[in-house]
Chains A and B, each alone.
Chain A
């Protein structure tokens, strides 16, 4: 996994609640067997018209926001399907951080596994961030993961919470599977105890 310590860039505001993962990446992009290249399908229905041309009214199509690194959304961002393709698509497009009042649990996990940072902030602060994001491409936001702060173009600093384990993995770009496999003895021990107590758990073949 890629490490992330700091992030500075333009933020795009998407003023919608319940942005679901079908909206982030629709079904036609789920037939891939690789993780890469999904940025072109990001927000497909919002981004392209029926002829496949860019919709001018969609924020990520506008010149100032084409290189956004941060996305600011409404409540319950990433709800619906568990498709990790949603995180892969955002990452491939260049979005490394999403800020919203709340996220669905599965999307929240998926994003961190891909080296992305998701930040929960209260609704009034998210509203303030959206307002400043609309200043355009000169409006740079800075995120400091170590200090757990977002600094806006106006110079306001907002603190955010993140659990220590996720923060540690992201700061150091750790491979979670390797970390877990280092605990092989604990897993062996658990399996032995479970087999003793609940032999019925082994499925019939």
Chain B
């Protein structure tokens, strides 16, 4: 039999039917739903008098719109409130399990899926959210979909799909101190550009990837979409199994044993064909920061703001010039000389326990710099509880960080957490687009360690230079 990739294997195991032109109907094992992209889908079902085919395969949670302050008093913004109550009503009407904003299990959709053991290796996972790529860390084929496709999955538990191409990103060697999964994923996008993965599913491999924790692998795969790939994958291994064992929705007993036996077969064969291959030396990756308004605008923290004229073509020069105007930066400025106003730690990229431990390790015993507002938003209620039990919350509060309730928060500012025009933020989130964190807001994407370092110095900082 021909050698196949991990992506080929999962795809082949989910083909329901194939059209003469190669378009396939693919079965979906796990569907996650949140309030922003689902209302119109449920409405569509209702209008067509359709049911949810298998409600137990969909899990719903509220995350984008909710305030991260005390929620027992309800939501002030009437539109946000309507979207949240609409999800509550829709899940109740269609029989879908739902975690509301007061449920301890509530959190960002891509954090709670793995946390509950809902996300499993070898499954197909979709959600009306581009960062669904996160779940690929488990060796699940996971990608974002639009609302019409959410409706399609609810009604049929399938999607009409064309197969993507295979791309391999190998990161070999050992990471240097102070360099994290966030730096790897940004460094990859810096190499490929934001369209480098378009039409492809990326498999990440190499010993630097293998040595990452599940949290790190989730950070890595989360940003596959920022490189244009619909999905990122890491083959499951003992680290994956150890993370999943005993989770509320993980298989148990004989089912667990059967699952692990199957999961162990999920890897690319020797000699499998990849349409594109990128190889990076882990030891050469440095802590990085974005300077512009696209995730590909990334440089090591030791670099300076680039000159737009240094880019290869007119379009890129125009794009860089516009980005620097928006960001209020001058070419030649050392990145470490850029002062910041705010720090945001959280999001589906970096809102997990390991991220918060890292922030506490860097900022512990220090103080948030004068004039800087630093906010920590745990990715879920369970992450928050664990961080409080481990004493992380106390360390961060003592250092002057705000400690919030879980949600998407200032990653996209649909709730009250956002940047004001001109404010500059070191952020552990995933997008630095114009206006993403608030109209006129300026975002520098960094790792949790780098965000913590920026919080205590008041400027973009090389975490390796902090004592």
Interface residues of A (CB under 8 A from B): 15-18, 20, 22-23, 26-27, 30-35, 45, 74-76, 79-84, 87, 102-106, 109-110, 113-114, 163-165, 176-177, 180-181, 183, 186-187, 190-191, 194, 198-205
Count of B interface residues, CB-CB < 8 Å: 85
B27: A residues at CB distance < 8 A: 187, 190-191, 194
Question: In the assembly, what is the distance between CA of A127 and CA of B333, in Å?
Answer: 34
Q: Shortest CB–CB separation between residue B31 and chain A, in angstroms? A: 11
| B86 interface contact, C-beta 8 A | yes
| B156 interface contact, C-beta 8 A | yes
Within 8 A of A (CB), among B1-59: 16-17, 19, 21-23, 25, 27, 29-30, 36-37, 39-40, 43-44, 48, 50, 53, 56-57
Within 8 A of A (CB), among B72-102: 77, 79-80, 82-83, 86, 97
Do A33 and B43 touch across chains, with their CB atoms under 8 A apart?
A: yes
| B294 interface contact, C-beta 8 A | yes
Closest A residue to B82 by CB, please name it: A33
B413: A residues at CB distance < 8 A: 27
B282: A residues at CB distance < 8 A: none
Contact of A183 among B17, B86, B123, B198 (CB under 8 A): B17
Assess A33 versus B129: contact at CB under 8 Å? Given A45-B435, A165-B160: no
Assess A82 versus B145: contact at CB under 8 Å? Given A18-B294, A20-B433, A177-B151: yes
Closest A residue to B122 by CB, please name it: A198
Question: In the assembly, what is the distance between CA of A155 and CA of B155, in Å?
Answer: 45
Contact of A110 among B57, B64, B148, B162 (CB under 8 A): B148
Closest B residue to A76 by CB, please name it: B195
Q: Shortest CB–CB separation between residue B103 and chain A, in angstroms? A: 16
Assess A106 versus B249: contact at CB under 8 Å? Given A27-B414, A187-B156, A187-B157: no
Q: Shortest CB–CB separation between residue A98 and chain B, in angstroms? A: 15
Do A22 and B435 touch across chains, with their CB atoms under 8 A apart?
A: yes
Do B262 and A198 touch across chains, with their CB atoms under 8 A apart?
A: yes
Closest 7 CB pairs of A and B: A110-B146, A113-B148, A84-B146, A31-B79, A33-B39, A200-B251, A82-B144
A84: B residues at CB distance < 8 A: 37, 40, 128, 146-148
Do A187 and B16 touch across chains, with their CB atoms under 8 A apart?
A: yes
Closest A residue to B322 by CB, please name it: A16
Q: Shortest CB–CB separation between residue A79 and chain B, in angstroms? A: 6
Closest B residue to A127 by CB, please name it: B315
Contact of B118 among A17, A103, A165, A203 (CB under 8 A): A203
| B424 interface contact, C-beta 8 A | no
Q: Shortest CB–CB separation between residue A40 and chain B, in angstroms? A: 15
Per-residue CB contact flags for chain B residues 306-336 toward chain A (1 = under 8 Å, else 0) read 0000000001101100100000000000000
Question: In the assembly, what is the distance between CA of A76 and CA of B195, in Å?
Answer: 6
| B252 interface contact, C-beta 8 A | yes
B358: A residues at CB distance < 8 A: none
| B357 interface contact, C-beta 8 A | no
Do B130 and A74 touch across chains, with their CB atoms under 8 A apart?
A: no
Assess A105 versus B199: contact at CB under 8 Å? Given A18-B294, A198-B262: yes
| B412 interface contact, C-beta 8 A | yes
Do A31 and B16 touch across chains, with their CB atoms under 8 A apart?
A: no
Assess A177 versus B50: contact at CB under 8 Å? Given A27-B414, A31-B79: yes
B444: A residues at CB distance < 8 A: none
Contact of B435 among A26, A79, A114 (CB under 8 A): A26
Question: In the assembly, what is the distance between CA of A74 and CA of B315, in Å?
Answer: 9
Contact of B21 among A34, A81, A114, A163 (CB under 8 A): A163
Do B194 and A79 touch across chains, with their CB atoms under 8 A apart?
A: yes
- Known contacts A31-B414, A87-B146; 18 additional CB pairs below 8 A are A18-B294, A22-B431, A30-B64, A33-B43, A33-B82, A80-B433, A81-B129, A83-B146, A104-B198, A106-B143, A113-B148, A163-B21, A177-B152, A183-B17, A187-B53, A190-B16, A201-B120, A203-B30
Closest A residue to B147 by CB, please name it: A84
Do B198 and A102 touch across chains, with their CB atoms under 8 A apart?
A: yes
Question: In the assembly, what is the distance between CA of A194 and CA of B57, in Å?
Answer: 14
Do B319 and A18 touch across chains, with their CB atoms under 8 A apart?
A: yes
Q: Shortest CB–CB separation between residue B438 and chain A, in angstroms? A: 9
Q: Shortest CB–CB separation between residue B241 and chain A, in angstroms? A: 13
Assess A81 versus B130: contact at CB under 8 Å? Given A22-B435, A177-B156: yes
Q: Shortest CB–CB separation between residue B210 and chain A, in angstroms? A: 25
Q: Shortest CB–CB separation between residue A199 and chain B, in angstroms? A: 6
B120: A residues at CB distance < 8 A: 200-201
